[in-house]
Structure 1
Amino acid sequence: MNRLTSDPSLELCPDFTSYIYQTSRARLVNQNNNLNEAQVVGILQAVWVVTNNTHKVQWQRQLQEDQAAVTEQQNLEDTKCQLQASHLKDSEAAFLEEDRKQNPFKYIPIPNRPRPLCTVHNVLLSDFAITKLVKGQYVELYYWTNGGLPADARSTYRTADDECMGPYTSPGSSTTAGAAHQVARVIPDHSLTPIDFAQAVPRALASFQQCGWAAERIQMLAAFWQALMRHDYWNSIDPLAQRALLVYQDEQRRAWHQAIPLPDGAWDISILDDKEIKIIFETIYREDRCRRDDEWDARHLQSLYPRGALDDHSSNHRVRRSRRASSSKGRRRSASPPVHSNSASFYN
């Protein structure tokens, strides 16, 4: 069936009595001798009406089919747009999630509150220390001392290039992050003074909590440092006794951090090993005694020998004393898991 191009209801019945239909009327009259011209006109009008009514029905059906086709096409377009929007939304969500993983610093919520006054020193850590803290690694207590905070965390930073930041001390001079990971003057734990140690401990514990360390680890380290500061050596008037505790703290905390990812795991560091502490103290005492003896011998020899003879005699004397000291010390063994293959290097 041919498709209609106009609405049949708008059409008017033609005038079949007009001159243009004369040929059609004459043909019908000649074919039907019983019909006159008026009857032929009536027949033509009746045929036109029937045909027009048929076209009207066809037109309505055609409109319904067109509307159904338009609706179906619109539904397809809507479904396609929804799928595209859903895919775009999923892509944006995946990108946002990946960006959150790669750049978590951008998405840390900032509370609407005034600057906290009591904890300002807890947040002024160096980027190097914060990076190691976030990973749960060992960090020297120097970074929380009064000397460590201003020297490192309060440095002025400016952009060195698109990928790194570097501290600088004057315009035109900068150091990239790759070359300035750690401050050159960091003091190891065993060389800290008791006052610096006592200042650093509470600040370090607060930083551990801010960086999301497990509560059990923080409590264990707090108990470890508290046990050290309650030890008899800590309140001794002998500075070597306090240094022995600081050396013990440095060795054990390093070994504890190193043992955490190992198959056997770490241990309760808050349980002090008094035997190991005494061995460390004896080692420090012997080295200090040898140093004092060498200084006394040097002063004594200087008063007895001329300058040229003093050099030869002092050299031979130091060799003999070094051999005696090394044979008397021997190799001490730790009661905890091995920490350093040569612990004597800590005390020099």
Structure 2
Amino acid sequence: MNRLLSDPQIEICPDFTSAFYQTSRAPLVAANNTEDQAANLLQAVWVATNAAQQLQWQAQVALDQAAEADRQRLIDQENDHLLQAQRLADATVEEEEKKKNRLKHIPIPKRPRPSRASENILVSDFALRKLDKGHFVEIYYWTNKGLADARFSYRAADDEGMVPTKTSDGATAWIPANATRPSSTVVPDCSLEPLDFAQAIPRLVASLTERGWNHERVHMLAGFWGALMLHRYWSLDDPLDRRALLMYQEEQRRAWHQAIPLPDGAWDISILDDVEISRTLDRLYREDRRRKDQDFDYQVSMIQLVCLSIH
């Protein structure tokens, strides 16, 4: 069916009685019709044809509208996809910008200066990155000495000293160079003074919470450290007893971190293993005894050498 180019409803039926249509009437008149009858027949044919064309026009308009709606829908979908892609690209660029210049994008609440702002601690970037990854990190970084080292590092650091690193999602982020290096003066947990350990633990627990650690894990570690400082060895006079607890703390915490991603997983580290603590103390005692024996043997040998040299 040929496509209509105009609306048949606006067309006007011609005057088939006029001289212009005499040629059209002639075949009908020749078939024993009068001029008026021939004109009426032509008019009836035109009316019937026009009615059929009106129906065709309505169907054609409906199809055109449906096609236009589909075309517009496809255009809208394409525009929406382009908009979403642009938003994603913009968000990616913005996220990269935030990672490269994190300090510029940290929101600052509208509030008065905290009365204890001068007491806020400044922790090593290296230690905080370890926390962010959920890795083991030495408690030293939260001791008074570790915090002092961090403040010195911040003052001495070059603002342009940035290095690229890969984030957990594979993206590239720029971080201060000192965030990739441990402190040159870091002290192992087992060698910390009990006072330094006790002062550092509340700060470390606060950092764990601030860095988004799971509440259950933070509570577990806090319970672990608290149980160690309440253990009977902690208050004994012999320094080896407290050192055994610190050694146990370091070894167990390292093992706990290493076990987390393994198939069997980790355990509730806050439950102390007194048998292992006793073994650790025994090991330290034997090492201390051996060292003292070696020192004694060395002193005896030196005395013997002196005596021989005199004679």
Give the shorter-chain TM-score range: 0.5 to 0.7
Offset from partner CA, 1:112-134 (integer Å, 9 cap, x none): 45476769978743443334324
Counterpart of 1:293 in structure 2 is 296
1:63 lines up with 2:57 in the alignment: yes
Give the secondary-structure state (helix, strand or coil) at the position aligned to 1:184: coil
| Aligned counterparts of 1:130 and 1:265: Cα–Cα separation in 2 | 22
Counterpart of 1:276 in structure 2 is 279
Give the secondary-structure state (helix, strand or coil) at the position aligned to 1:147: helix
Change (3 A) 1:197 1:72: same
| Aligned counterparts of 2:231 and 2:3: Cα–Cα separation in 1 | 104
Counterpart of 1:263 in structure 2 is 264
Letter in 2 for 1:191: S
- Cα deviation for residue 143 of structure 1 reads 1.5
> RMSD in angstroms over aligned alpha carbons?
4.7
| Rg comparison, structure with higher value | 1
| Aligned counterparts of 2:301 and 2:270: Cα–Cα separation in 1 | 43
Counterpart of 1:183 in structure 2 is 183
Give the secondary-structure state (helix, strand or coil) at the position aligned to 1:225: helix
Counterpart of 1:137 in structure 2 is 135
| Aligned counterparts of 1:85 and 1:3: Cα–Cα separation in 2 | 31
Identity score, percent:
33
Give the secondary-structure state (helix, strand or coil) at the position aligned to 1:66: helix
Superposed counterparts of 1:33-182, under 5 Å: 40=35, 42-81=36-75, 84=78, 112=109, 114=111, 124-152=122-150, 155=154, 156=157, 157-158=159-160, 160=162, 163=172, 165=174, 167=176, 180-182=180-182
In the alignment, is the contact (CA less than 8 A) between 1:259 and 1:265 conserved in 2? yes
Offset from partner CA, 1:5-56 (integer Å, 9 cap, x none): 55463354266347x94x7788887x47x88xxx53x345324432332343
- Cα deviation for residue 226 of structure 1 reads 2.7
Change (3 A) 1:298 1:246: farther
- Cα deviation for residue 202 of structure 1 reads 0.9
| Aligned counterparts of 1:258 and 1:239: Cα–Cα separation in 2 | 29
Counterpart of 1:337 in structure 2 is none
Superposed counterparts of 1:185-334, under 5 Å: 185-236=185-236, 238-260=238-260, 261=262, 263=264, 265-266=266-267, 268-271=269-272, 273=274, 275-287=278-290, 289-290=292-293, 292-293=295-296, 296-297=299-300, 300=303, 304=307
In the alignment, is the contact (CA less than 8 A) between 1:123 and 1:207 conserved in 2? no
Which ranges of structure 1 fall in alignment gaps of 5 or more residues?
169-174, 310-348
Give the secondary-structure state (helix, strand or coil) at the position aligned to 1:249: helix
- Cα deviation for residue 142 of structure 1 reads 1.0
| Aligned counterparts of 1:26 and 1:13: Cα–Cα separation in 2 | 15
TM-score between the two structures when normalised by the length of structure 1: 0.60
- Cα deviation for residue 188 of structure 1 reads 0.7
Letter in 2 for 1:158: E
| Aligned counterparts of 1:64 and 1:216: Cα–Cα separation in 2 | 70
| Aligned counterparts of 1:249 and 1:199: Cα–Cα separation in 2 | 16
Letter in 2 for 1:228: L
| Aligned counterparts of 2:24 and 2:255: Cα–Cα separation in 1 | 117
* Pairs aligned (count): 286
Letter in 2 for 1:263: D
| Aligned counterparts of 1:66 and 1:224: Cα–Cα separation in 2 | 80
TM-score between the two structures when normalised by the length of structure 2: 0.66
Give the secondary-structure state (helix, strand or coil) at the position aligned to 1:190: helix
Give the secondary-structure state (helix, strand or coil) at the position aligned to 2:135: coil
| Aligned counterparts of 2:269 and 2:231: Cα–Cα separation in 1 | 17
Which ranges of structure 2 fall in alignment gaps of 5 or more residues?
165-171
Letter in 2 for 1:76: D
In the alignment, is the contact (CA less than 8 A) between 2:162 and 2:175 conserved in 1? yes
In the alignment, is the contact (CA less than 8 A) between 1:122 and 1:206 conserved in 2? no
| Aligned counterparts of 2:120 and 2:286: Cα–Cα separation in 1 | 36
In the alignment, is the contact (CA less than 8 A) between 2:131 and 2:211 conserved in 1? yes
- Cα deviation for residue 206 of structure 1 reads 1.9
- Cα deviation for residue 89 of structure 1 reads 8.4
